[in-house]
Amino acid sequence: MGLKFYNLSHRFGFQSPNWPYFQDVQIERIHYMAKSGVLTQRITTTMHNTTHIDAPAHVVEGTPFIDEVPLPHFFGTGIVVSIPKKKWDPITYDDLEKAAGAHVRPGDVVIVNTGWHKLYDDNAEYFCYAPGFVASAGDWFVEKRVKVVGHDTQANDHPLATAIGPHRNGPLHPHLAEEYKAWSGGRDWKDDHPEWEPVHRKLFTNGILGIENVGGDLDAVTGKRVTFAFFPWNWDRGDGCIIRLVAIEDPQQAYRIEAGTPF
């Protein structure tokens, strides 16, 4: 085909890194070679493990489940932009406009590379101290009319705007309150992150989906416009889905999708 394929997904499997309050992934061999001459495995997991896409219904009642999202949402052109960030840094409207404003098109997939995918592991640094989108970033995505947002961090929001911080089902790590005060020069985390998951809600109420924990060969396509494919299961009333996120390049511009003509 003359195409180049890049894997932008982290691994999934035994002891794959997990968000702080989810049950661990369990994989059992129901049949195996010595027993049955065939390998059959049973998996117990949430769909919010490793690289995955959230359905709007994950956070906002009355919005589409994963099987209700039109298929074109899971395929299309877009850009991968570099916005390097450090511990707890916000990703803002201005950051996105500076990095991508001249390049983004309506209907694009926009993937943000902060560099945080290099820290992806079963550790507090990746999940609790990550940078993240703040409310103004959600406004930027809506204004630009993108269809999917992806990033190499733990959630579509800053970690302290989730249950890791002072919000519903949290704080999962109360000690972070004092750490944040010291890091910020005395500010309270409730003042700096007053809303629960504002970016999730801005995206989902505007028909925009979010891909969390992007990784793999992300650096190889950063700064490029590519084609993306990331189809989820056809899961009835699904709240999201683990995906294989793939970036595709056509260096010769010679390949075309088949026309669907009879043979």
Domain boundaries of the chain, sorted by first residue: 4-9+47-249
Could you tell me which residues are beta bridge partners of residue 9? 214
Low-confidence ranges of the chain (pLDDT < 70): none
CA distance 190 to 161: 9
Tokens of 7: 């894997």
Tokens of 152: 């190499």
What is the second-level CATH architecture of the domain 4-9+47-249?
3-Layer(bba) Sandwich (3.50)
Q: pLDDT at position 12, please?
A: 97
Tokens of 85: 């960030």
Q: pLDDT at position 127, please?
A: 98
Q: pLDDT at position 256, please?
A: 86
Tokens 């999934």 -> residue: 12
Q: pLDDT at position 235, please?
A: 96
How is the beta sheet containing 109-113 ordered, strand by strand?
4-7, 246-249, 225-229, 75-82, 109-113, 148-151, 209-212, 52-54, 240-242
Tokens of 137: 């970033």
Q: pLDDT at position 170, please?
A: 93
CA distance 206 to 39: 43
Burial of 28 from C-beta contacts in 10 A (0-12 / 13-18 / 19+): exposed
CA distance 220 to 101: 21
The answer to whether the predicted template modeling score (pTM) of the entire model surpasses 0.85 is yes
Q: pLDDT at position 25, please?
A: 96
Q: pLDDT at position 24, please?
A: 95
Tokens 């507090």 -> residue: 124
